[in-house]
């Protein structure tokens, strides 16, 4: 682990500009096969003080090998994500006029879910870059050629030599994970043809602040993006950020369009920058009050949980996403509060949550305990409606930890 001293986007010194400190946690995806001591790392955020930037970033950068060794997330396991990527591919194909001769590279390609959508829509020349070997092998087995690596200049050059220039490079939910954004962006430029376009999707800080989605702050997410700093960054890198859209992924994301040539810039870009300034996203005070809102919400949730227990409810969790770890530590919840956590993806079942060591079990557990009164705290709140709808016959209680929205199951 090392501490960042400068802004990843503009180089301004940030070391004395910590604006938010959450309790230290283990790596959010470090689910373990048996309870054991796990190292905890600080979760402090720095706000770049440059009046033309204002990028928000994690102060502590944990080495990627520590973070990704135990990586157990696979995008294809969630049906709504597959649909999202299908729409995404179709839109990119229309916008850029891609066809069977076009070449598409996806960075952080995971199990190949997005590239599969391009192939299914006739764009068959695709290549993935994915550091987690196990997940890359799943992609390969589904016919998506994948290089097992972190994106770096050597990997970019190798792909350029082997396959020629790319018409499109995509990166989804990875631009928040990369410590060295300059190096990653030049690598993207190396791979792109002169008229090529880079599209990336990343969680949008405006939505995080507005919706109090603080649990999306964890060590894998080293950067919390807004549009204003990115416009200047890409300009400095010799590229043009020419369009941006807000999309609902992960509680609110932006899809950013960047060209390696000059393009007419959509008025949407200036509009979003204006709204970011109006929301004071570049002011330290915004994050002080954000911290206060987190503490208030934690207090409300603990009181709510305590009163449920007084009323005879037993507690479990639903969903074991990475953000569960930040939520548990920030709200001071632990294994005394939860008996088990139900997870749909088989990859995490049989493991224990990072640091708090709550057993992760499959959804069949709900049927086993149906005779008792259970309340399920939905850690995967971005799938709250899907989860509740998918268990319509369950008699327990559902609770959204961020809104305290509460739904009674059938029998209650
Ligand atoms: Zn900056």
> Under DSSP, is residue 130 helix (H, G, I), strand (E, B) or coil?
coil
As a whole number of angstroms, the distance between CA 224 and CA 178 comes to: 11
Ligand 1 center to 51 CA (angstroms): 8
Q: How far is ligand 1, taken at its centre, from the CA of residue 265, in Å?
A: 22
Task: Please name the residues in contact with 5: beta carbons below 8 A apart, sequence gap of 6 or more.
Answer: 13, 14, 15
Distances (CA, A) of 64 to 28, 68, 70, 111, 170: 13, 6, 11, 19, 20
> Which two structure tokens, joined as six digits, stand for 60?
């502590």
- The rounded distance, in Å, linking the Cα atoms of 131 and 151 is 8
Distance 43 CA to ligand 1 centre (A): 19
Of the candidates 353, 339, 357, the residue with the CA atom closest to the CA atom of residue 70: 353
Q: Which two tokens stand for residue 121?
A: 């829509």
- In 248-395, DSSP assigns E strands to 253-259, 314-318, 341-342, 360-361, 374-378
The answer to whether 197 and 167 have CB atoms below 8 angstroms apart is: yes
For 356, the 3-state DSSP assignment is coil
User: Residue 48 C-alpha to ligand 1 middle, in angstroms?
Assistant: 5
How far is the centre of ligand 1, averaged over its atoms, from the C-alpha of 320 (Å)? 33
Distance 268 CA to ligand 1 centre (A): 22
The alpha carbon of 53 and the centre of ligand 1 are apart by a number of angstroms equal to 4
* Sheet of strand 360-361: strand arrangement: 360-361, 341-342, 314-318, 374-378, 397-399, 406-408
CA 241 to chain centre: 21
For residue 108, what is the DSSP state?
T
Centre of ligand 1 to C-alpha 151, Å, is 23
CA 327 to ligand 1 centroid distance, Å: 28
The CA 54 to ligand 1 mean position distance, Å, reads 5
Residue 327 near residue 353, CB atoms below 8 Å: no
Q: Which of 115, 167, 105 is nearest to 138 (CA)?
A: 115
Predicted local distance difference test score (pLDDT) of residue 90: 96
Q: Which pLDDT value is given to residue 78? A: 66
- The per-residue DSSP string of 140-192 comes to HHTT--EE-S---HHHHHHHHHHH--EEEEEEES-TTT-S-HHHHHHHHHHHE
Distance 15 CA to ligand 1 centre (A): 12
CA of 57 to the centre of ligand 1 (A): 9
Q: Sketch the domain layout of the chain as residue ranges.
A: 75-285
CA of 214 to the centre of ligand 1 (A): 21
- Give me ligand 1 centre to Cα 49, in Å: 7
3-class SS letters over 240-269: EEEEEEEECHHHCEEEEEEECCCCCCCHHH
Query: What's the CA-to-centroid distance between 224 and ligand 1, angstroms?
Result: 12
Cα(10) to ligand 1 centroid in Å equals: 4
CA 61–ligand 1 middle distance (angstroms): 17
- Evaluate whether 48 touches 14 at the Cβ level (below 8 Å): yes
Cα-to-centroid distance, 11 and ligand 1 (Å) = 6
What is residue 69's predicted lDDT score, i.e. its pLDDT? 56
206 Cα–ligand 1 center, Å:
17
Q: How far is the CA of 205 from the centre of ligand 1 (A)?
A: 15
Report yes or no: 187 and 239 within 8 Å, Cβ to Cβ.
Answer: no
Ligand 1 centroid from CA 8, angstroms: 7
For residue 110, the CA-to-ligand 1 centroid distance in Å is 29
CA–CA gap between residue 252 and residue 212 (Å, rounded): 11
- Ligand 1 centre and the CA of 255: distance in Å? 20
Contact 53, 228 (CB under 8 A): yes
Q: Which long-range contacts (CB under 8 A, 24 or more apart) does 160-164 make?
A: 160/190, 160/191, 163/103, 163/125, 163/127, 164/103, 164/193
CA of 196 to the centre of ligand 1 (A): 26
Q: How far, in Å, from the CA of 324 to the mean position of ligand 1? A: 29
Are the C-beta atoms of residues 343 and 383 closer than 8 Å to each other? Answer: no
The closest of 151, 154, 126, 155 to 140, measured between CA atoms, is: 126
Residue 90, both tokens: 């179709």
The fold of 75-285 is Rossmann fold (3.40.50)
Sign of the CA dihedral with 205 first, then 209, 213, and 214 last: positive
Q: What is the pLDDT along the chain (412 residues), one digit of tens a residue?
A: 889 999 999 999 999 999 999 999 999 989 999 999 999 999 999 999 999 999 999 999 887 766 665 555 555 556 777 888 999 999 999 999 999 999 999 999 999 999 999 999 999 999 999 988 888 999 999 999 999 999 999 999 999 999 999 999 999 988 898 889 999 999 999 999 999 999 999 999 999 999 999 999 999 999 999 999 999 999 999 999 999 999 988 889 999 999 999 899 999 999 999 999 999 999 999 999 999 999 999 999 999 999 999 999 999 999 999 999 999 999 999 999 999 999 988 889 999 999 999 999 999 999 899 889 999 999 999 889 889 999 988 889 999 998 887 776 543 3
The tokens describing 108, both together, are 């952080």
* Tokens linked to 162: 């082997």
Q: How far is the CA of 217 from the centre of ligand 1 (A)?
A: 19
* 50 CA to centre of ligand 1 in angstroms: 6
């Amino acid at each position: 682990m090392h501490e960042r001293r400068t802004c990843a986007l503009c180089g301004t010194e940030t070391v004395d500009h910590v604006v938010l400190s959450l309790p230290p946690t283990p790596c959010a995806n470090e689910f373990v096969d048996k309870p054991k001591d796990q190292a905890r790392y600080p979760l402090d955020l720095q706000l770049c003080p440059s009046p033309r930037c204002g990028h928000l970033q994690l102060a502590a950068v944990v080495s990627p090998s520590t973070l990704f060794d135990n990586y157990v997330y696979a995008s294809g396991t969630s049906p709504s994500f597959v649909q999202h990527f299908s729409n995404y591919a179709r839109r990119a194909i229309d916008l850029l006029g891609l066809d069977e001769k076009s070449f598409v590279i996806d960075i952080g390609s995971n199990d190949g879910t997005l590239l599969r959508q391009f192939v299914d829509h006739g764009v068959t020349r695709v290549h993935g870059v994915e550091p987690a070997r196990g997940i890359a092998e799943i992609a390969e087995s589904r016919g998506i050629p994948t290089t097992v690596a972190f994106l770096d200049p050597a990997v970019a050059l190798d792909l350029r030599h082997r396959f020629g220039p790319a018409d499109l490079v995509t990166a989804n939910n990875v631009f928040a994970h990369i410590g060295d954004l300059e190096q990653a962006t030049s690598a993207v430029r190396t791979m792109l043809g002169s008229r090529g376009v880079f599209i990336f999707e990343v969680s949008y800080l405006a939505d995080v602040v507005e919706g109090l989605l603080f649990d999306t702050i964890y060590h894998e997410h080293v950067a919390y993006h807004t549009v204003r700093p990115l416009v200047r960054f890409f300009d400095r890198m010799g590229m043009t950020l020419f369009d941006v859209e807000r999309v609902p992924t992960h509680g609110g994301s932006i899809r950013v369009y960047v060209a390696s040539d000059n393009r007419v810039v959509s008025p949407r870009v200036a509009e979003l920058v204006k709204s970011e300034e109006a929301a004071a996203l570049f002011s330290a005070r915004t994050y002080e009050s954000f911290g206060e809102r987190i503490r208030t919400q934690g207090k409300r949730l603990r009181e709510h949980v305590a009163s449920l227990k007084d009323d005879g409810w037993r507690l479990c969790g639903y969903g074991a996403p990475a953000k569960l770890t930040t939520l548990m530590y920030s709200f001071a919840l632990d294994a005394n509060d939860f008996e088990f956590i139900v997870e749909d993806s088989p990859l995490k079942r049989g493991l224990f949550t990072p640091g708090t060591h709550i057993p992760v079990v499959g959804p069949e557990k709900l049927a086993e305990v149906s005779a008792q009164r259970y309340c399920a705290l939905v850690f995967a709140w971005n799938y709250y409606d899907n989860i509740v709808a998918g268990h319509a016959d369950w008699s327990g209680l559902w609770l959204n930890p961020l809104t305290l929205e509460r739904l009674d199951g059938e029998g209650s």
